[in-house]
Structure 1
């Protein structure tokens, strides 16, 4: 489909630009591009500075569970590269069932390239590198796209790209979701989608698009889905606005899409089978996650990690600290509205962008519309769509991330329009400078602040020195006290940071629920799991009964446990130690920063 956005980079050079030698212009542009890219890299390092200050022990204060999960999959990527494990499934977590990692964002497209860093410095440093490259790389890719397709101005493209790469939703997702900040393939996917209508190039364009789709699937499938939906919405809106000129593009668009689907389908056939039909596969999302929607008031508010942010206000308007995807701020919305009304509305490109942004803003509201933290009587447009296959696994509030590229493109167009204003009006007002100042003031409140981090505890010597091997023979598992979960992540953290090869029950992941066709966070809890978690979280230790002891033995047999291990740094370690001593009628051994109970004799040997 031939679009205005596709041809915009062919704007004629100004007389001053034409007078310069071609090689001088090229060299100058390269220097500018390098400077912009370096600026994005510095900004990404500043945003993630807390992760570098404390190195391998740095923890994201607002989202430790997701951080530990991605440490786990980064270590898994290293094991895949060395041939020590299957790529789409792990038996190390959630013993004895394991976890379907393809259905849990295994990010092999990121983890395998980063495997050398993981091997040398560990998964935490690898995660920090990933966040830096994700934020800076996404901004740089959008800069390339905007400079190629939307504007000839480096300043306009850089400003729009900075919003795409460092906008509120991206900084929010950096709190534990590196797969969402790594969107550097998205501009290239959009670029290829815009070229689908080229006559005579269906095979080439289709193959390239199919390869990009495959690559993005191993980074984040949900981003791929949103990108496909957004491209479809934009192209449909643009075609509707310019229909007579688009009639001839229908056939090549369909042909290119078919070839891309064939290429992507062949390459992704086995991974997708593993995801939807392999061991520990599931449908949909756990209860609650599918209800995450944006608040109407959030669009005009500032995110917490910004100069204009207010934590109390944001807490009322966002599902959590990692999902502030629609916080654009009223000054930016007002400036973009003024630019559209004053200069840009007549362009089909702008109307198509507004239609796409409006549609995804409505999708982001979710199944029920909230305003100012209060539930309204209005049902969300997503309510009927969220029941459809594939869409049932979507977190609606993340549709708001599509607004960043839309706003970034509109911002670039607005700055480009300001460049064409006269320097002064008839009344000698500095019109252009005032317009630039207005845009700058709208962006200042959105300037990102560094991620909030704190120093975590070190992995116990019991793990790092390999003492655990004396208690956990082959075929047995290491059971943490309390059992590993989203709130108590010792098992995942120890495994990822140490590179040890023990298996452990529980974990933080999405898996099948108790009922067929349902999903849940972690495994369905067992009696001992519930007991230890309740005491760890502040409940009074109960009087131990014979039934509790029988339940513990049954759970140990189910887990094929070799040892129970309690960290000395667990907040209620003394209470938990006394409880487990009583349950086993045996005192644990204090060694290497933990208390360990050898339970191999209580578990029936495996067949």
Structure 2
């Protein structure tokens, strides 16, 4: 007992200990406040970038990419229907009637849509989309901030700057134009963190299970991001092992064991979804023609994206496949500063050399199968050419490999800023060396400061849909055929369904499905004669003189689609021309009601005796 009391007395805190602990608590509170401030800054930045979507609410449209925006409105509404039991998770029959659409092969994003279902139910899928973009951009930056603080730097400023580049870099802002699944990369830093833990001795089971669960979650956010993350981790870890060999020899066994457990866990949880994707109804192989050819122009690496302070729309148009794929636009000032930092201070670090190898490999992959420079095709084959035909990899859009460069550049930027902090305040001749170095880094980032997404106010959903009038024309088992038929260029059917929550089915749609030939893919279904005819008139062609062959083709197509009604929005740009043409085609005048013209298809599809 005496001993215990003596020991207790020795353990009692002295005034100095209490002061030290008080200071520690104050320091912890300050650190928490700093982290909260950094996170709040990311949220504010995301709100500014997406400000146009909030200004116009449920009617806001992304000017650069309406089709993908409408598709994600559709799948966010689908996630709500899944949660309420009104739809199957991985397949929908509300589009591409009568065949349906394999949503697992079309980025169903249930991992995002189900958590957002309450917002979708109350405010609609467009507000859910805006929330998703804010959470994606800010959450990705915050997750990388955590990762960089844990693995790369102890400097808050350095980690915040690097994370801001990861979350709000040119590729991420570009993808925000209709690809919320690509901006939602907040799981990626945790996947990389678990990958770095694979070599821990004695913890292969725990690490493998955690990695397998993260893989499963990411698969329901974006499988392509998961594939790129896995490839990037493999390249980085291999490069790091080579640079630091033989110190990494002992890690081989736990890495293999962890990977095996992760594969078993992820494989078991994803077995049915993956079967549905690759072998289920409406499955396909590869990508539609053209998409697999998207590659990064060599000149794009040093250029500024259009939605940035330094951007030039005319110059960018030559260097990117479209406004949503400016994934490699890092700007020459940032590349120059990072090159100076690596050459001057960072080259000796194994981490830096492994990062550089990863960056070079993925920059090569991003150029695709054929190298372009300044908008001109060169004779050089791309690094991706021998890999792009392999199973699974045939579904990759090469230019998106450029997104891997953002975490690489973010980590190098954090290391560079940390190195600047170690410079002397004054150099030869009392030159303020450190301040000048900070200024140089800051100036290199200024041209990349993002601008708000370009948006405009879209048209409201017609009362014919919102008031439920459509039910009188489209009985159960029938479809609502929009004029022109719903496609990537004419998305009324998907937009009306998503915004209103109405449960009608439509022919056509914007998705990827099987092409006419086995083993091929196409955007939307293979077009039918009436589909082509209506689309041509809608896009400016002179309506042809209606003949019996056209009417027979219309009737055959309406029967194939199981049509209940043809519906033309009064807001369609060539509504008057289309209305007259369809009147002639069906030999009957349509009914004007609720902001649309509707033709009852029942007399046309019912066989005559």
Shorter-chain TM-score: which interval? over 0.9
Matches of 1:199 and 1:147, distance apart in 2: 24
Aligned length: 588
**Counterpart in 1 of 2:16?**
none
1:504 equivalent among 481, 501, 506: 506
Tell me the secondary structure at the aligned position of residue 245 of structure 1.
coil
**Counterpart in 1 of 2:192?**
190
**Counterpart in 1 of 2:252?**
250
Alignment deviations for residues 7-26 of structure 1 (CA, whole Å, 9 cap, x no partner): xxxxxxxxxxx998322221
Matches of 1:604 and 1:532, distance apart in 2: 22
2:42 aligned with 1:45: no
Tell me the secondary structure at the aligned position of residue 280 of structure 1.
coil
The 5 A counterparts of 1:438-457 are 438-457=440-459
Tell me the secondary structure at the aligned position of residue 204 of structure 1.
helix
Note the C-alpha offset of 1:187: 0.1
1:173 equivalent among 172, 175, 183: 175
Matches of 1:69 and 1:603, distance apart in 2: 29
The 5 A counterparts of 1:54-203 are 54-203=56-205
Tell me the secondary structure at the aligned position of residue 246 of structure 2.
helix
**Counterpart in 2 of 1:347?**
349
2:37 equivalent among 35, 38, 50: 35
**Counterpart in 1 of 2:264?**
262
Matches of 2:367 and 2:383, distance apart in 1: 8
Matches of 1:74 and 1:141, distance apart in 2: 24
1:540 equivalent among 514, 539, 542: 542
Matches of 1:394 and 1:21, distance apart in 2: 53
**Counterpart in 1 of 2:465?**
463
- Alignment RMSD (CA, Å): 0.9
The 5 A counterparts of 1:281-300 are 281-300=283-302
Alignment deviations for residues 322-365 of structure 1 (CA, whole Å, 9 cap, x no partner): 00000000000000000000000000100000000000000000
Matches of 1:426 and 1:449, distance apart in 2: 40
The 5 A counterparts of 1:258-407 are 258-407=260-409
Note the C-alpha offset of 1:600: 1.2
Matches of 2:201 and 2:23, distance apart in 1: 34
Note the C-alpha offset of 1:32: 0.4
Matches of 1:243 and 1:83, distance apart in 2: 54
2:494 aligned with 1:485: no
Tell me the secondary structure at the aligned position of residue 429 of structure 2.
coil
Matches of 2:371 and 2:426, distance apart in 1: 46
**Counterpart in 1 of 2:6?**
none
**Counterpart in 2 of 1:231?**
233
Tell me the secondary structure at the aligned position of residue 516 of structure 1.
coil
Matches of 1:24 and 1:273, distance apart in 2: 54
Tell me the secondary structure at the aligned position of residue 383 of structure 1.
coil
Note the C-alpha offset of 1:602: 1.8
TM-score (norm 2): 0.96
Alignment deviations for residues 32-54 of structure 1 (CA, whole Å, 9 cap, x no partner): 00000000000000000000000
Note the C-alpha offset of 1:468: 0.2
2:605 aligned with 1:603: yes
Matches of 1:463 and 1:227, distance apart in 2: 42
Matches of 2:43 and 2:80, distance apart in 1: 25
TM-score (norm 1): 0.96
Matches of 2:322 and 2:90, distance apart in 1: 28
1:353/1:502 Cα in 2 relative to 1: closer, same or farther (>3 Å)?
Answer: same
Matches of 1:48 and 1:248, distance apart in 2: 48
Note the C-alpha offset of 1:189: 0.1
2:474 aligned with 1:472: yes
Look at both structures and tell me which one has the larger radius of gyration over its CA atoms: 2
Q: 347-356 vs 23-32, which deviates more?
A: 23-32
Matches of 1:412 and 1:20, distance apart in 2: 31
Matches of 1:178 and 1:30, distance apart in 2: 29
Unmatched 5+ residue regions in structure 2? 1-19
Note the C-alpha offset of 1:293: 0.1
Tell me the secondary structure at the aligned position of residue 256 of structure 2.
helix
**Counterpart in 2 of 1:12?**
none
Matches of 1:143 and 1:530, distance apart in 2: 50
2:523 equivalent among 518, 521, 524: 521
Alignment deviations for residues 213-249 of structure 1 (CA, whole Å, 9 cap, x no partner): 0000000000000000000000000000001100000
Note the C-alpha offset of 1:384: 1.1
Matches of 2:553 and 2:180, distance apart in 1: 39
Matches of 2:246 and 2:253, distance apart in 1: 14
